[in-house]
Amino acid sequence: MADLLLAPSPESPIAGSVGAVDALLDAITAIKAQQRSLEQQLEPLLEALSEAMATGELDPSFCHNDWSFSHSLGRLTHDFPPAVQQIEKQLKAAKESAIQQGNTTEKRGKPFWTIRAPRAQELLF
């Protein structure tokens, strides 16, 4: 990570040059690759966390080392009748109409965790 700090800042004189843009893009893609790797490492840990919650070892919301953990059931979406799916140009209006008329089936997306870093203590002046 230390070498990522060497990328030129947007305020630097060479920030607008082609080399600086390439360096910026290289830094972004390197970080995104690291992020993907970390997410892959995190996935089984979150599954184990969900299992611990399912067995009653953990509550759906708790704090650990000043980090806040909150389990979410997943995003609520709807399955629409095939007739509505065929009306692609009018899909937004058709969805609202179908929801309002009760012609949809509620479903939830994949469960997920929200994890927040501890808040920095406010400085007193």
Q: Can you give the residue ranges of every domain in the chain?
A: 6-58, 59-118
5-19, 83-97, 110-124: least confident range: 5-19
Do 115 and 68 form a contact (C-beta atoms < 8 A)? yes
% residues pLDDT > 90 (the chain): 40
- pLDDT value at 7 more than 60: no
pTM over 0.85: no
Q: What separation, in Å, do the N-terminal and C-terminal C-alpha atoms of the chain show?
A: 33
CB 104 within 8 A of CB 78: yes
Give me the residues paired with residue 61 across strands.
70
**What does the pLDDT average to over 73-77?**
91
pLDDT of residue 30: 87
Dihedral over Cα of 61, 66, 76, 36: its sign: negative
| Residue 6 pLDDT class (50, 70, 90 cuts) | very low
* Residue of 84, 74, 71 lying closest to 106 (CA atoms): 74
